[in-house]
A and B are shown apart, each in its own frame.
Chain A
Amino acid sequence: GEDVEQSLFLSVREGDSSVINCTYTDSSSTYLYWYKQEPGAGLQLLTYIFSNMDMKQDQRLTVLLNKKDKHLSLRIADTQTGDSAIYFCAETKDTGRRALTFGSGTRLQVQP
């Protein structure tokens, strides 16, 4: 979706941290999500953050939200080979079109 942008590819070594970035254009976005998709599979919700929050941590995952710059990031600590997948950020709004809009997805490749 053109409203939500992500870089296409990220390669890291096993054990390193991964940071996947996302920018969105609509300041009325109220809910922001990170989904993971493994090859040939559906989307798995990893974590989400409300727009009135700056940070959320959930085990190895840390989400940072910079509302001023409309920038969202997902940090995966101690990245494992099983984390290799496509990661989509997505947004919804309280008004207007009340459905998820996905970013283009970032392919994370974890090298052993």
Chain B
Amino acid sequence: DTEVTQTPKHLVMGMTNKKSLKCEQHMGHRAMYWYKQKAKKPPELMFVYSYEKLSINESVPSRFSPECPNSSLLNLHLHALQPEDSALYLCASSLQGANEKLFFGSGTQLSVL
């Protein structure tokens, strides 16, 4: 299994909703990442988990809350989002750290109304 699986593929939510994005990999990777990608822009790093501990938070607003329950799962909890948070949210994993190949999921396309 060489896949990173993200669910849901599409999500529409209101500004008062609470939702979660999920990411799963079974490659034995110990580093997992959340990226945000706006249309026609490169992905921007949000969070990095290394061995289930948060190692990088790129000054992301607290309305985004990451969680790594175990080495195979990564969640992104969303609460009180703004319309400008609408984007493609990409999860990625690598064997141990960033100096290795990242494998990306296909993303969750999020629309905030």
Chain A residues engaging chain B, CB cutoff 8 angstroms: 1, 30-31, 33, 35, 40-45, 48, 88, 92, 94, 97-100, 102-105
Contact = CB atoms under 8 A, between A and B. Distances in A.
B102 A100 contact: yes
A92 B48 CA distance: 14
A33 B56 CA distance: 21
A44 B42 CA distance: 13
B51 to A, nearest CB: 14
Contacts of A102: 42-43
Interface in B16-59: 33, 40-43, 45, 48, 56
A104 to B, nearest CB: 6
A98 B42 contact: no
Interface residues of B, number: 23
Contacts, number: 53
Interface of B: 4, 6, 33, 40-43, 45, 48, 56, 90, 92, 97-99, 101-107, 109
A69 B98 CA distance: 24
Given A43-B90, A99-B33, A92 B99 contact: yes
Contact of B101 (A45, A94, A104): A45
A92 B102 CA distance: 11
Contact of A42 (B41, B45, B97, B106): B106
